[in-house]
Amino acid sequence: AQKVTQAQTEISVVEKEDVTLDCVYETRDTTYYLFWYKQPPSGELVFLIRRNSFDEQNEISGRYSWNFQKSTSSFNFTITASQVVDSAVYFCALSEAGRGSTLGRLYFGRGTQLTVWP
Amino acid sequence: DTEVTQTPKHLVMGMTNKKSLKCEQHMGHRAMYWYKQKAKKPPELMFVYSYEKLSINESVPSRFSPECPNSSLLNLHLHALQPEDSALYLCASSQEPYGQGDEQYFGPGTRLTVT
């Protein structure tokens, strides 16, 4: 079963629009970590944010914000006033820390290709 | 400094060649990883080294042979590869030896083509 689901395969927006990338995860562990990575066309995965399961506080970093809701097992990512440079594939990922988990393993979603048009 | 470097950036090799991919980090991280990524897919974990010891091998074929000479370096030796092994190979590192909850920092990758 897929541990991380990113239902949106591709999203296209016009510059300055707000866009939300969805991420739904599945785990039985009470301690786990969620991540978002950005992969521009150059190929390098860029770390954006890490959240642990005990911290449901939403976070804002410039134009980026994240909404973590344990009740719906979601960790959504919003880009406000999108720019062409935001065009990339965005991956949501899960790391489990419970007993029997494979420590160090990141479970990636399939990614969402975001295209921002000028 | 959160830099992971990888060489070469591009590699074209024949099925009978032997080549190596190199990865280096100077962040003092104790866990290092190799991933394989095909086009339009997420990265797939291949190997994990913790404290320079192989801790995870995701049933990778023996034509891929990892090596961790020291805590800063990670190599991936390639031999007798198949065309389907063509992919982007990513190296990553994280602070804790078992990567428990730590973010992984990725290098720019080596784009490998097997002819």
Q: Quick one: three-class SS letters along chain A?
A: CCCEECCCCEEEEECCCCEEECCEECCCCCCEEEEEEEECCCCCCEEEEEEECCCCCCEEECCEEEEEEHHHCEEEEEECCCCHHHCEEEEEEEEECCCCCCCCCCEECCCEEEEEEC
Question: Above 60 in pLDDT, residue A100?
Answer: no
Question: Is some CB atom of chain A closer than 8 A to the CB atom of B101?
Answer: yes
Partner-chain residue, chosen from A52, A102, A109, that has the shortest CB–CB distance to B101: A52
Taking a C-beta distance cutoff of 8 angstroms, is the pair A94, A107 a contact? yes
B98 neighbourhood in chain A, CB within 8 Å: 103-104
Q: Which of A101, A96, A103, A32 is nearest to B98 (CA)?
A: A103
Question: Above 70 in pLDDT, residue A5?
Answer: yes
Taking a C-beta distance cutoff of 8 angstroms, is the pair A78, B9 a contact? no
The confidence score (pLDDT) of residue A31 equals 87
The confidence score (pLDDT) of residue A78 equals 97
pLDDT lower than 50: segments of chain B: none
The confidence score (pLDDT) of residue B98 equals 64
Least confident of A2-11, A73-82, B49-58: B49-58
Question: Is some CB atom of chain B closer than 8 A to the CB atom of A46?
Answer: yes
The confidence band for A96, taking pLDDT boundaries of 50, 70 and 90, is confident
The confidence score (pLDDT) of residue B112 equals 97
Does A95 contact B100 at a Cβ distance shorter than 8 Å?
A: yes
Does B56 contact A106 at a Cβ distance shorter than 8 Å?
A: no
A34 to chain B: closest CA residue = B101
The confidence score (pLDDT) of residue B99 equals 56
Does B101 contact A33 at a Cβ distance shorter than 8 Å?
A: yes
pLDDT in tens, A18-75: 999 999 999 988 889 999 999 999 889 999 999 999 988 888 899 999 999 999 999 9
Question: Above 80 in pLDDT, residue A3?
Answer: yes
The confidence score (pLDDT) of residue A1 equals 67
The nearest CA of chain B is from the CA of A41 a distance in Å of 11
Partner-chain residue, chosen from A104, A109, A111, that has the shortest CB–CB distance to B31: A104
The nearest CA of chain B is from the CA of A118 a distance in Å of 23
